[in-house]
Structure 1
Amino acid sequence: MKIRNFNIYLTLVILLYFHLGVFGQVIEDEVYLKKDIEIKKVDEKTWQEVISGMDFEGDQKKKNMIESSDKDGKRKENAREVSDAEYSGQINSPINSSLLEAFKFIFIGIAVVIIVFLLFQIIKGTSNISLNTKINNEDEVGIEELSHEMPRSELEIALDEALKLKDFRKIIRIYYLISIKELSERNLIKWKKDKTNYNYIDEIRGKNGLEPFEPLTILFEWAWYGDQKPEESKFRSAENLYQSLLENLKQYPSGE
């Protein structure tokens, strides 16, 4: 769905770009048509110089007409005289000039807003595509979701599913996530996204009953980041550490 939206937004941007080009060409044509046309008259001497080298053998009638007009000094113009008023820039246009200019700037402003919005949606959609792909591929709950977004009940549901499948690697991960959540809710650690797992070990060091957290962290690091496939013996060790830690945490009040 995200990819489909991305393609739609991209198509709209491309279409809008071409429409802007067409509209710009229309504006240029209107401006050109409104320009004053300068009429230049040709004097008799210049006209004679122009026609002096022409060969009228093929059209005797034209030659006779020119010779006759030269003799009488009354050469008739071959082209119709056009009054200055007809080409003085007063060409009738269905669109008033000032209205056209105002419409042009309004259209450009709207187009810019639409383009910015579409680009924002594309960037946002691309970000969501990447995030969703990562979640779907790993099918895991991130530690960054623990503080607010992931209730313990959801973690426990995920844990039950992993136990049924005997997915020991995932089980150890969820044990660690729940442990972090419990420690944070009791204000025994200050959760931050940029902290390392060993920062949390340092925060609880020396506190009564929290010793199981350090070996549980080591097991989690080995299984998850080492991309290992734990055997049941490793799972049992992690389970004992997890249960022991939860039992010992009962002496610390929850800050919820």
Structure 2
Amino acid sequence: MRRLLLWMVFSFLFINTFSQTINISGVTTSGKFSLCGGTGPVVTATLIASTGTSVVGNSLICNDPCGTSTLRMVISNVQWQKGNDDNWIHGVFFPVNPGFSVSGIIMPTNWNSFASCTGANCSTGQTGGQGFYFDGTGDDCCNPVLNDGLPGNNYGDPLFDCGQTLSFQFDMTFCNSAITGSDLSFQLTGTSDGNTGCYSVPDPNRNNRINFSIATSSCPDIYTIPFTSTIITDCSATPINYYAVLTGGCGNGNTVTSRDAPFGGNQIGTGVPF
């Protein structure tokens, strides 16, 4: 009986975990990520925390645009062609201000997750967004300390080239309002140390990309009634004017729109707030 109970608990946990897995599509690479051959990156996504979303049929279903979702992401089998030895990989990151947060869980040796990184003066000084940067070498134009939390003063990873792979495990949290269709697309950019690090020879090709999409179902239209905290009275006019600052809710993207009729009508104005 005890063995049966344990098996039932294990089966439930397995099914529950499996059901949180989200389908990934459109995994493509370009630039130095695509020059080593092989099968390319492998991307997995698992829903680990949410308010207003669930996984049904391996798609992330949005029921409430005002909630948030956290995915446990794993990107493995990442390859990079170093080429002429001037382009050591230094950063793998999302765009600046992507609308979501990233927290590293398992990183390659001497790599860490950072909110952003800007290359040193001897490089092109390129700025990368949230992602993963190499923080484990010295260089010819800065005075770094190993893993000092300042990846911009480092060379890239000196050992990484075709024949080796990188893997990143991280948590990604975003607002459900970002889910507007049947998939949600993401793009990672890769840079050498001459761009976001501290090396004097830049990589002229900035089109080093990894793209992928997760399967989703868009949020329903939920429009919350705008609210105001203060009504201002203007006694200088006749008749007296009353003013109010209206603040919208999450369901309408925090945007308040005024029209001259309850349905349809002409738009009078719009704003955040209005």
TM (norm. structure 1) is: 0.20
TM (norm. structure 2) is: 0.19
Counting helix residues as a fraction of each chain, which structure ranks higher? Answer: 1
Larger radius of gyration: 1
Counting strand residues as a fraction of each chain, which structure ranks higher? Answer: 2
